[in-house]
Amino acid sequence: MTPFSNHASNSTDEERNAWRRAQALHVRLRAAVLADDAVEIASALAAGADANAQRSGSRTIVLMDAAAAGHLDCVEILLPASEIDARDRLNSTALMHAAHAGRLACVERLLQAGADPLLRDRFGMTALMRAAKADNLPCAQILLPVSDPKAIDHFGHTALMYSADTPNSATAWCLPLLLPVSDVRARSSWAATIHIFAALRNNFGALRALFALGAPIDWLARDSQGLDALAAAALTEALGPEGGPESLETLLCARKNDFLAPSWDANALFEKTLAAGHWACLDILATGADVDPALVALAFMGENRLKMPRWMARQERDEIGAAAFIGEKPAQSNASGVLDSDARFEDPSLPRAPHRL
């Protein structure tokens, strides 16, 4: 029965009255669940409320609402009267709702009551994938022993990939748990590896965990858009105007320490990043990759230098070092942030030191 659906106009008065009573009981039951009122839930069930009645639109049942809210006492009362693996409009179960919301106690209770952790929603996701996507480690730890960590959804994503799905994140709590039992070389339906997946989301916490745990990376792997991990971090448009600078820096550091890494065209990536206008990533490439200095100087002419604090700092450092070598006062940055080549001579009382061979 769907309490909020339109009742047929050709029904008898008795049928319409019965539907109205059922609707009122369902409203009463759902309000009690939302209020975490176990006593009122028991009273509504005793009065004849149907725990398996679906709400129109979402087609959820009250057990799903209670599990998602983490109302364990309500879940306990509703379980005997509910279909534990009932599906909503997206084919999600109460267990999936609890896992996605990080309701550990409800996840444990639903599993004890016989909820199936291998069921999939409309997108092919399991409860474990839901927990990994939410980066909820306690729920993932409970679900992992009864789930298939290598399962893939309709997009070719695994639970390991979903553990790197949180954007702009410095943490990936589920990744170390899932990595040993997952296929780290798996590719999504759009050919992304776990490293590309994390770079596109700028989940630098996941990338750092992958490198710290020794997960192999294929530097030549590209997704369906032709992006490798470095390009994915520098060129991603999904996270705002700056790309993924933290992920790019993490990848460049790892590449420098990987003596088996194949050669790559840093100049080409620099030019593409410049065209995208991702200045934070340009700053990292200019100081952390073997980019042609002439190309860098051309990109950072005029006021663009103000967008490159790392590169400017290195230029000033190099200027200071060169001035110290020849015994001159180093150049300084003026108020506009541009190096003032005449600053070293601003004190006429200091004679200019002769050049040394």
Whether the pLDDT of residue 186 is over 90: the answer is yes
Residue 323 pLDDT: 62
In this predicted structure, the answer to whether residue 241 has a pLDDT above a threshold of 80 is no
Residues 12-47: tens digit of each pLDDT:
888 888 889 999 999 999 999 999 999 999 999 999
CA distances from 258 to 175, 232, 251, 270, 284 (A): 22, 19, 10, 21, 18
* pTM, two decimal places: 0.84
- In this structure, the number of other CB atoms found within 10 A of the CB of residue 65 comes to 21
The tokens for 346 are: 């601003």
Q: Taking residues 239-258, what's their average pLDDT? A: 88
Contact 49, 26 (CB under 8 A): yes
pLDDT at 181 over 70: yes
pLDDT at 308: 81
Tens digit of pLDDT for each residue in 321-331? 666 666 655 55
Show Cβ contacts of residue 221 under 8 Å, excluding neighbours closer than 6 positions. 187, 191, 193, 195, 196, 228, 229
**pLDDT at 219 exceeding the cut of 70:** yes
Structural domains of the chain sorted by starting position, each given as residue range(s) with its CATH number in brackets: 1-113 (1.25.40.20), 149-298 (1.25.40.20), 300-357 (no CATH)
pLDDT mean over 319-345:
52
Helices H / strands E in the chain, number of each: 18, 2
Over range 66-78, report the average pLDDT: 97
Query: Are 74 and 36 in contact, with CB atoms under 8 Å apart?
Result: yes
**Whole-angstrom Cα distance, residue 172 to residue 162?**
10
d(CA 273, CA 229): 14
pLDDT-derived band at 243, boundaries 50, 70, 90? confident
Instruction: Considering only residues 103 and 325, tell me which one the structure prediction assigns the higher pLDDT.
Output: 103
